[in-house]
Structure 1
Amino acid sequence: MAITANHMMKVTTMRANVLDGNTFRSPAIHKANIHSMAIDTAASNTARSAPIGLFDSGVGGLSVYLHLAQQLPNERYIYYADTLNVPYGNRDSEDIEALTLKAIEWLYQQGCKLIVIACNSASAYALDTARKCYPQLPIVGLVPALKPAVLASKSGHVAVLATKATLNGSLLNDVIASFANPNSTVVTKYFDPQLVPWVEAGMPVEDETAQRLRQQLRAFANEGIDQLVLGCTHYPFFKSFLLDEIAQQQLSIQVVDSGQAIAERVKQLLVANQMSATLDNETSTQDLSTINKTNVDIKLPLTFHATKYSDRLSALIERLLGKETVLQYYPE
């Protein structure tokens, strides 16, 4: 499904005055404390008017947000980008888990009724722990869309383009062992550490990273790969680049991402838990104040919080979400 952003939306980018990315408690202490807070604040996070939280190390999770906004236009969203520590793919598992739990705690304190870990690396190493810390909170994680790629493959050879953390994580490798192998499908893993920085930089087509992608597509085709899975939420933003190159080079490769499936799963959970926003999504200021614990303006369709702010980030968000996007800033 093509990702589009042709609708008017408002985005709030907050300067990093709420979180200090350089200070963090030990994971063991942190887990105990957030579990206690989760119990205390559970009631305020179940209202239909409560926002949906999204978390990623950078802007990549906005690809998931666009799918969500298309399927669930009446919902409000709070997006947490850990731009101070992006990318996560090269970090060790304990570091990824700690940073992820910190982000989820922050989103939960904003009153989010459901949280999407819109980061494959974070899902690979922190999803299970997060669900244990917040047993009453629906948390959706990402797994590269390997199953549909295996089912669609005619050659029996697919590739997963992802970060090192995702490729080494148990979520992906469990799917390979339980689904790809029994279906006699070969899975090639590919990692380029410059892909996430390339997206964060605006994806200049003359960059060396773009040239490597062109070459890698030819290499995949020569190996008989006919399905390419985008295993990082940053990657759908260059899906059109890949499709254009595949067409120009006349390659028999299909590109698969998991954004639509994630949006469908979120919709199912909201309906099952009776938490879907009302059609008019009208909520009083008093109701919102009981949900929201800080100065985040959750009356907007999308509130964007970054742990590190820059003018380049604003330009990138506007480019990814469309020229009609309105950016608002809170002062330091």
Structure 2
Amino acid sequence: MIWIFDSWFGWLSVLKELRKILPQYDYIYFWDSLNAPYWEKNPEEIKKLTVDWIKFLFDNWAKLVILACNTAMVHSIKDLQQNIFFDKKILWVTIPGAEKVVELWYKKIWVLATSSTVKYWAYKNRVHILNSSIIIQEIEAPKIVPLIEKWEHETLNFNKILKSYISLFDKDIEGLVLWCTHYTLISDKIRNILPEKTTIIDPSFESSIKFQKYLENHKDIEERLLKNWRLEIYTSWNYNDFKSLWKHFFDFDCLS
């Protein structure tokens, strides 16, 4: 099975993209609803929670884990990759988005992000590992995620706030990265505000494409994945909240 881990529900955007192009696989999603949201916690708390839960998943049959939380990635990627799970398969939603930016050859890229990821230069550092000449201009958008989580992303107030952030971009903006999986859920709204020529780089979409290529190039892993078109959901707290949440984004029932 393919395991997806997140601290909040931005992972829904990742799951939707994966199931569009790879619907035949079995997916298990684990949402740490007990400790959500991670972005309110300090870096050490975030790292410990992420490491502990990833360890739990690998101890319970996981062969491959997709980390769908940018905040968790920012504070734990080094430990997860180099020190603790160097022999395990962990895929990151963040990296494909950075790789796409480099492929586009734009001189300057704008990034819409949460305060936490901007503070630690997470996206800028990831892109500059690949190409240090690209100018990365990040805009903090601290109000967007809380409003999405309160189901207020269809209100006039939300649209006004979203436009206020986007008005900070250059008028001739070439590319915009949605540096939070929550933002994919409102990508249509963002598209309607941006100039038509602007390219939107969605790490959720890019990660699904990269994951497809990853499986094509790693037949030893692909052959071990179950293909029953199944989806299982687990939460660390209050599954009923999850079922309510699910209905906002999917047109089929999520069974307990």
TM-score, normalized by the shorter chain, greater than 0.5: yes
Query: What amino acid does structure 1 have at the position aligned with 2:144?
Result: L
Q: Deviations over 1:141-198 (max 9, x none)?
A: 13262443355466x332111223322346523234345542xx43211122222222
1:126 to partner: Cα distance: 1.1
**Residues 133 and 214 from structure 1, CA distance in 2 versus in 1: closer, same or farther, beyond 3 angstroms?**
same
| Count of paired positions | 253
Do residues 259 (structure 1) and 209 (structure 2) align? Answer: no
Do residues 216 (structure 1) and 165 (structure 2) align? Answer: yes
**Residues 105 and 147 from structure 1, CA distance in 2 versus in 1: closer, same or farther, beyond 3 angstroms?**
closer
1:96 to partner: Cα distance: 1.1
For residue 160 of structure 2, give the secondary structure of its aligned residue in structure 1.
helix
Query: What amino acid does structure 2 have at the position aligned with 1:281?
Result: K
**Residues 310 and 137 from structure 1, CA distance in 2 versus in 1: closer, same or farther, beyond 3 angstroms?**
closer
CA distance in structure 2 between the partners assigned to 1:173 and 1:232 by the alignment? 14
Identity %: 23
Equivalent in 81, 87, 101 of residue 149 of structure 1: 101
CA distance in structure 2 between the partners assigned to 1:99 and 1:279 by the alignment? 26
Equivalent in 236, 241, 244 of residue 307 of structure 1: 236
1:242 to partner: Cα distance: 0.9
Kindly report which structure 2 residues correspond to 1:1-332, keeping only aligned pairs within 5 A, or say none: 51-131=1-81, 132-143=83-94, 145-149=97-101, 151-152=103-104, 156-169=107-120, 171-179=122-130, 181-182=132-133, 185-206=134-155, 208-222=157-171, 224-246=172-194, 250=195, 252-271=197-216, 272=218, 274-277=220-223, 281=227, 301-309=230-238, 311-320=240-249, 322-324=250-252, 326-329=253-256
For the 8 Å contact 1:78–1:107, the answer to whether it is kept is no
Q: Decide which moves more: 232-241 or 191-200.
A: 191-200
More helix by share: 2
1:206 to partner: Cα distance: 1.6
Q: Which runs of 5+ in 2 are unaligned?
A: none
CA distance in structure 2 between the partners assigned to 1:178 and 1:136 by the alignment? 23
**Residues 153 and 212 from structure 1, CA distance in 2 versus in 1: closer, same or farther, beyond 3 angstroms?**
farther
CA distance in structure 2 between the partners assigned to 1:134 and 1:179 by the alignment? 23
> TM-score of the superposition, structure 1-length normalised?
0.67
1:259 to partner: Cα distance: 2.0
Q: Which runs of 5+ in 1 are unaligned?
A: 1-50, 283-299
For the 8 Å contact 1:159–1:188, the answer to whether it is kept is yes
- For the pair shown, the structure with the greater C-alpha radius of gyration is 1
Using CA pairs under 8 Å that are at least 6 residues apart, name the structure with larger relative contact order, 1 or 2: 1
For residue 181 of structure 2, give the secondary structure of its aligned residue in structure 1.
coil
Q: Decide which moves more: 252-261 or 167-176.
A: 167-176
1:127 to partner: Cα distance: 2.1
For residue 123 of structure 2, give the secondary structure of its aligned residue in structure 1.
helix
For the 8 Å contact 1:59–1:317, the answer to whether it is kept is no
Query: What amino acid does structure 1 have at the position aligned with 2:101?
Result: A
**Residues 323 and 168 from structure 1, CA distance in 2 versus in 1: closer, same or farther, beyond 3 angstroms?**
same
